[in-house]
Structure 1
């Protein structure tokens, strides 16, 4: 054989159509329900008012950008004159900035928390508030705001897109477009719906289902293996939602554990912070669920193609050997990903002189732990279910032997009286059986 041809596994067109019909009978009601839910939950625009830009400029004040030319250690402008009142002048890093466009280079005092983490270097692009027109001399005329990160972010995004497209080709491009569409849907539908007080559980389930339908079929095409992966993903999503709903209530998670949540509680009082946490748990599990289900579905199809005479039990056992490896790797991948994101919190709580169990049960730490556990449970349970569905679909479409086309080709190539050797697929099937 010159290579794998997925059509060779699905040997009976009539049975293949019947299997696809069964999959669509299972998926269509879910898709229709998600579409109706999207229509019913679609935001009307009656949402909380927009907040003022935290870096917004008032009358006479403007946001500007410039380039750092040099950074020196000098007397802090904010401490000048303190000796006259018995104080002490302090030394700090002063960056000299050339404003974009016309303008003279000026000295800028940078906050110490910034210089300790990332000192300003020549060539750095920064944003600052220009208060020179309203300053009376008692305050600094320029205030550091942030770095300009447009170029490195754009370079990384282009590099990521290029790598994905070079390795995965058109499928990688479709996956990137699907990702962009999913993010647009989340920003355009889910977030406004949450701000308008819609049920976070419904918004999370409906939005996640729509994203998965669109992303999977767009990236992987309309096929039985994609439909199988989608069924497994929806199962994992349902399990995740059920466990997350119980855990959020049982562990009394309020969601009010950081400044952003407290700000939301003030400006959008109709928004449930615990519900927002629940919706976030569903969105966080989408990517990993999609990864394991499409992998398991593809693995079963490849195994069936390599060993078309293997039984359903053999296919399931072989698929689960792959699935167990995937579980082992993905579980600690999730845990390490969340641990990395919560590293500042972990470092901070480690400084407190209190029992470890007491620390882990605090609201902020409990949220991270429950994210890990809920996402992992949904992921682990989705693997055997997806594997079982894939095996049933593969066997239902008929893969007990070579296709009629390949059989005719073998007869044409054979010589009168020549004994035909067992097909490589059959030999591989025996190896799979003995393994």
Structure 2
């Protein structure tokens, strides 16, 4: 993995002006990377999910139906549900009950008995006020009637397939157009990461595998593929990979301690509660841990690649000893760390915005707000990410400085280095 000190056709990099590392050092680095990858792959195989539970059997015969909205209307109903309670705890006498008429054009199971039929379903008020109107594509769930009775329909969601496809297509085209081979490699790496989450992490969590082992093994294995695929086989990439692995280990340790100390159960979201109801056994604490590790992947990758590149460029441009290289790399690292920390915090704040809105409506004290489950989870993720970044930056910088010193400027020894 770290067996080559040259870039792969990317002219103008520091690797082009430095001789490769000594053969013994390259072999040692390669051995370390292979051991790390072997352990990660072993973890993936040990936690590979079997007999994943499914909620599809809960509603036998239910079908996903798509169609076009032909009209909407607003009705009023009596307030009866717990989620409809006012801030003072009382139920309102009436609540909004918007409805939509949908002309069905088929089902996912290719059943055609509903084609052309107009059905009326109750729509969530938030969806209605969000601009639902005639002509919009929507998704419904069709429940067959008992003993030949009439089928019933329930609102599921807006059909977003076409706009999502357009957005993703534009993203792919621009990434390849600007990034060229690197952009294409990054997209391939993204696909690998997505596949790991879909086929390993999520199913393994549903089958009660150890969340830390699942998250760490999958993350370490994925980054081994993504980093080398995107940035090529070089010592710089190896430094970034090992730095990322170290950061993931720090993230896992800090996350376990913080989640246990904060008694986070993962029940702050309705979807999380639904998972426990449908499966009956999923440990949502593990979901929080695995989610923290997955979230740390992009952050650590970004920082470690930057630190390795910075040290290599400084060495190629002006030389210097370990202390000078480390100091120069840390100057870059401190700026990067500062910007990344508040970027991450704002990103998590954006994700928790609905919870913040509810907190504002209920006018809760600041201390109660901070310690609430929804906000506490985001604070723990931000803090754990910050801890991992703060330790990963100097670790990666030191490793990069130590290794780059074993490379000499190409002009100093023409033809040397194998």
The change in CA–CA distance for 1:397 and 1:184 in structure 2 (over 3 A counts) is same
The change in CA–CA distance for 1:284 and 1:72 in structure 2 (over 3 A counts) is closer
Residue number in structure 2 paired with 1:426: none
The change in CA–CA distance for 1:106 and 1:194 in structure 2 (over 3 A counts) is closer
Residue number in structure 2 paired with 1:196: 207
Mapped to 2, the partners of 1:135 and 1:155 lie a distance apart of 43
- Cα shift at 1:249: 1.4
- Greater displacement, 113-122 / 339-348: 113-122
Residue number in structure 1 paired with 2:324: 314
- Cα shift at 1:377: 1.0
Mapped to 2, the partners of 1:114 and 1:164 lie a distance apart of 34
Q: What TM-score results when the alignment is normalised by the length of structure 2?
A: 0.81
Residue number in structure 2 paired with 1:34: 40
| Structure 1 unaligned spans of 5+ | 80-88, 407-435
Whether 1:121 and 2:148 are equivalent positions in the alignment is no
The equivalences for 1:77-92 within 5 A come to none
The equivalences for 1:403-422 within 5 A come to 404=414
- Greater displacement, 245-254 / 366-375: 245-254
SS at match of 1:67: strand
- Tell me how large the CA RMSD over aligned residues is: 3.4
Residue number in structure 1 paired with 2:186: 175
SS at match of 2:329: helix
Residue number in structure 2 paired with 1:380: 390
SS at match of 1:404: coil
The change in CA–CA distance for 1:303 and 1:123 in structure 2 (over 3 A counts) is farther
224, 229, 239: which one aligns with 1:213? 224
The change in CA–CA distance for 1:364 and 1:98 in structure 2 (over 3 A counts) is closer
Residue number in structure 1 paired with 2:171: 160
Are the counterparts in 1 of residues 55 and 279 from structure 2 also a CA contact under 8 Å?
no
Are the counterparts in 1 of residues 255 and 289 from structure 2 also a CA contact under 8 Å?
yes
Are the counterparts in 2 of residues 41 and 203 from structure 1 also a CA contact under 8 Å?
yes
The change in CA–CA distance for 1:302 and 1:352 in structure 2 (over 3 A counts) is same
Mapped to 2, the partners of 1:90 and 1:281 lie a distance apart of 38
Are the counterparts in 2 of residues 23 and 228 from structure 1 also a CA contact under 8 Å?
no
- Cα shift at 1:239: 0.9
Mapped to 2, the partners of 1:40 and 1:331 lie a distance apart of 34
Are the counterparts in 1 of residues 15 and 312 from structure 2 also a CA contact under 8 Å?
no
Are the counterparts in 2 of residues 293 and 383 from structure 1 also a CA contact under 8 Å?
yes
Mapped to 2, the partners of 1:35 and 1:103 lie a distance apart of 48
The equivalences for 1:320-399 within 5 A come to 320-399=330-409
34, 55, 58: which one aligns with 1:51? 55
User: What CA deviation, in whole Å up to 9, does each residue of 1:101-160 have, x standing for no partner?
Assistant: 7955747465251454322234311123567988999x9975443211000111111111
SS at match of 1:100: strand
Please say which structure displays the higher CA radius of gyration. 1
Are the counterparts in 1 of residues 104 and 119 from structure 2 also a CA contact under 8 Å?
no
1, 7, 10: which one aligns with 2:18? 10
Are the counterparts in 2 of residues 97 and 106 from structure 1 also a CA contact under 8 Å?
yes
Residue number in structure 2 paired with 1:65: 66
- Cα shift at 1:297: 1.0
Q: How many residues align?
A: 385
Residue number in structure 2 paired with 1:240: 251
Residue number in structure 2 paired with 1:416: none
| Structure 2 unaligned spans of 5+ | 1-10, 79-93, 107-113
Q: What TM-score results when the alignment is normalised by the length of structure 1?
A: 0.78
SS at match of 2:405: helix
The change in CA–CA distance for 1:364 and 1:53 in structure 2 (over 3 A counts) is farther
Mapped to 1, the partners of 2:152 and 2:257 lie a distance apart of 54
Residue number in structure 2 paired with 1:184: 195
Mapped to 2, the partners of 1:234 and 1:145 lie a distance apart of 41
Mapped to 2, the partners of 1:260 and 1:20 lie a distance apart of 48
User: What CA deviation, in whole Å up to 9, does each residue of 1:355-394 have, x standing for no partner?
Assistant: 2112211222211110110011101211111111111111
Whether 1:19 and 2:25 are equivalent positions in the alignment is yes
SS at match of 1:351: helix
User: What CA deviation, in whole Å up to 9, does each residue of 1:185-233 have, x standing for no partner?
Assistant: 2222222322332221212211111111111112111110100001110
- Cα shift at 1:36: 2.1
